[in-house]
Amino acid sequence: MKGVILDANSLGDVNLEPIITCLDHFQVYQSSNQDQIETRIADADIILTNKTELGRKEFAYSPRLKLISVMATGTNNIDLLAAEELNIQVSNAVAYATPSVVQHTINLMLCLSTHLIDYIHDTRQGLWQTSNSFCRLDHSIVELSGKKLGVIGYGELGKNVAKVAEAFGMEILIAQDTTVTRDTSMAHLLAKVDYLSLHCPLNDKTTMMINKTTLSQMKPTAFLINTARGGLVNSNDLVHALEQGIIAGAAIDVLSAEPANESEPLIQASHLKNLLITPHNAWGAIESRNRLVKQTRENIDAFLAGKILRRVTPS
């Protein structure tokens, strides 16, 4: 059997040896554009991909295709209906990046709360060295303890972020996607939280759920954190809210189009001191990526043994 990895560079420097040794032949490509896919998957029985889009058109190029193992949890880049019709099995990876994403989410909350980036920058510019006091308190510092954290999307990631936040002494308010479970309405939740962290999937209900209306319902001292999907947030509305002081700040790890481009409103506004942007690397701890490789190998081994592990089907 033959396998192909279409976008290995999205995994960074992780060791792929456990994957590529499980078949007689495994071709590894660092990246693949849509024009290259036809020739690259023509003889493949198994395709591994992180973000490369595969649909009915691509499946026609690969008559031998039996398994797609997505090297991620999200499978919105795969036409699951077409795969099911063509008897192509689809697997993914689950919960492999939880510690990494939780750590990154809390880190972003702390950076917003303490102006950590500003203080580091100021020290590099020599402000502390020329100070007439032993410390500098140029930027506001607030504690997480006693604050309210709103978590939208109370699955694997949302639950674990809440668990860590509780250790900081935060009060947790929960919404599962857009359905609030510990408050009377979304507007009520938004009005109460000091921090709002997004961990829900991107779908018809949640697209642009953070917009001019919902941002206006938040406190002017509140912070937004998004490590889920860029499409959950209306970028133009968020930039306006940050510029006008409608909310105090935001930390964003994901954008609607990735990699980022200069036309993205949040990139254009990245000079704002109350906006932090990281390059979709919340999941990227080496331990996380090693677990991803391990799960992918398990998916392939199970398939070769006549079983399907971590099966993904159309919802």
Whether 280 is catalytic is yes
Identify the CA nearest to 167 among candidates 214, 226, 227, 109: 109
Are 137 and 159 in contact by the 8 Å Cβ rule? The answer is: no
C-alpha distances in angstroms, 72 versus 42, 68, 133?
23, 12, 49
Cα separation, 64 vs 61, in Å, equals 9
Q: Which of 115, 199, 229, 297 is catalytic?
A: 229
Looking from the CA of 143 toward its CB, the CA atoms found within 13 Å total 8
Q: Which of 85, 143, 258, 287 is catalytic?
A: 258
Q: Which residue has the tokens 């939740």?
A: 189
Cα separation, 72 vs 95, in Å, equals 10
Cα separation, 283 vs 97, in Å, equals 5
By annotation, the residues acting in catalysis are 229, 258, 280
